């Protein structure tokens, strides 16, 4: 009898403990910050749908289409994604206005893939003061990888300094002693690139770089800068421009029949929005670096991941340009957000969003074989590998090994 009472008492205690644990687990399972609920996750986005960088607008449209697809398939962990995207015209003051609207009025969980170095620089402090993630920003400035001072901001693509160091390494290997002329956008985007290039060239930089010509994003053209650079007669032309200006530069080189060794920044390698408008004949032999598969490269015609992307485009974004690598970019970033939100489970706090974003280790099929998305608490640079490419015919051809542009190398 005594034993039975004891057992019953023990069972009662056990039942109470289990119930308490279940209640705690239920609370632990579902944690929400502003912008998340049992049924919905609100994401904010800022894109240049107008202005000098409007060729990037397709990135925002691809992301919106991707989340439409995700929602049609039941959402992420049973929650639908509400993707709110605003135009900032590539203008920093406008970006600040839109960020405030998204955070304070729309009450989004976080701002996803806002585009442009000037725009992201303008909202950098605001987002970190508000403790709202500014996640997978669409710019390769090195400063997004600074978890110590800006724990709420993280980049996505390889940084401009990483990319520029890869070009410097390539130039020193293949064109030692040759002179260089630089065209660069006069903002953080352009300056980061120049820093990386000079770091990569080391003590040879001063001797090799014979002319540097900045341009303002508000300028109508870069024609005068091209003429100025050609006058210095460098062997190598490094073209650090956003799509509109990159296309102008390539076209101008063709017009004045100048054929230096031409390096072009990865942000402007879109066949649809840069190479085609500039004239394929003017782009032959241009060098760049890539981490994504080029939709126009025949070698990916039967690639399963690219076929999946094509099927997605056909159904969810039929008006999108299949020649425009920016749509591949938008698709890849959207997959990144899907991965982070899947990892968050039912703990949809802003803190956990950043925690999961800093705990990634996966691959995306539309990226080049071997390119890995990897982050850690002290590593806010998801992608750090690129492969050299050359423009031939109407598409980019890959060559050489996958290269890392980390500082030590």
Closest by alpha carbon to 357, among 61, 62, 31, 113?
113
Are 109 and 102 contacting, i.e. CB atoms less than 8 angstroms apart?
no
What whole-number distance in Å separates Cα of residue 272 and Cα of residue 378?
Answer: 37
What size, in residues, is the chain? 409
Report the C-alpha gap between 101 and 232 in whole angstroms: 48
Please give the C-alpha separations between residue 188 and each of 6, 122, 143, 217, 406, in angstroms, as whole numbers: 72, 11, 10, 12, 19
Please give the pLDDT value at position 409: 38
Q: Which helix (H) or strand (E) holds 362?
A: strand 361-362
**Residue 214: its pLDDT value, please?**
98
Give me the pLDDT at residue 232, please.
98
pLDDT digits (tens, 9 = 90+) for 253-307: 999 999 999 999 999 999 989 999 999 999 999 999 999 998 988 889 999 999 9
pLDDT at site 26: 46
pTM of the model: 0.84
**The tokens of 234 are what?**
């460098």
What residues of the chain score a pLDDT lower than 50? 23-27, 408-409
C-alpha dist (Å) from residue 196 to 154, 156, 263, 266: 19, 18, 14, 14
Q: Per the structure block, which two tokens stand in for 189?
A: 């985007």
């Amino acid at each position: 009898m005594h034993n039975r009472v004891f057992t019953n008492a023990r069972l009662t205690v056990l039942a109470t403990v289990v119930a308490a644990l279940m209640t705690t687990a239920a609370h632990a399972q579902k944690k929400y910050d502003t912008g998340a609920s049992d049924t919905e996750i609100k994401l904010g986005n800022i894109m240049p749908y107008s202005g000098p960088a409007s060729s990037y607008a397709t990135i925002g449209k691809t992301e919106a289409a991707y989340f439409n697809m995700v929602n049609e398939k039941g959402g992420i962990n049973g929650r639908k994604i509400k993707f709110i995207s605003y135009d900032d015209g590539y203008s920093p003051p406008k970006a600040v206005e839109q960020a405030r609207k998204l955070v304070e009025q729309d009450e989004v969980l976080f701002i996803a893939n806002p585009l442009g170095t000037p725009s992201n620089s303008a909202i950098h402090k605001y987002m970190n003061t508000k403790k709202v993630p500014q996640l997978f920003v669409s710019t390769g400035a090195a400063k997004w990888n600074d978890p110590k001072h800006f724990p709420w901001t993280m980049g996505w693509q390889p940084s401009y300094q990483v990319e520029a160091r890869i070009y410097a390494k390539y130039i020193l290997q293949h064109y030692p002693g040759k002179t260089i002329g630089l065209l660069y956008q006069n903002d953080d985007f352009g300056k980061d690139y120049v820093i990386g290039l000079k770091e990569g060239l080391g003590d040879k930089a001063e001797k090799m770089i014979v002319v540097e010509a900045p341009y303002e994003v508000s300028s109508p053209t870069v024609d005068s800068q091209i003429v100025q650079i050609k006058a210095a007669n460098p062997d190598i032309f490094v073209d650090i421009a956003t799509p509109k200006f990159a296309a102008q530069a390539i076209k101008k080189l063709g017009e004045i029949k100048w054929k230096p060794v031409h390096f072009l920044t990865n942000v402007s390698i879109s066949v649809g929005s840069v190479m085609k408008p500039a004239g394929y004949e003017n782009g032959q032999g241009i060098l760049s670096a890539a981490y994504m598969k080029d939709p126009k490269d025949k070698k990916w015609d039967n690639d399963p991941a690219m076929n999946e992307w094509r099927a997605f485009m056909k159904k969810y974004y039929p008006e999108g340009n299949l020649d425009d690598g920016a749509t591949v970019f938008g698709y890849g970033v959207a997959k990144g957000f899907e991965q982070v939100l899947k990892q968050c489970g039912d703990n949809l706090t802003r803190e956990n969003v950043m925690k999961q974003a800093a705990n990634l280790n996966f691959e995306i099929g539309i990226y080049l074989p071997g390119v890995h998305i990897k982050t850690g608490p002290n590593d806010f640079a998801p992608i750090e590998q690129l492969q050299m490419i050359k423009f031939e015919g109407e598409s980019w051809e890959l060559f050489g090994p996958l290269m890392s542009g980390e500082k030590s190398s």
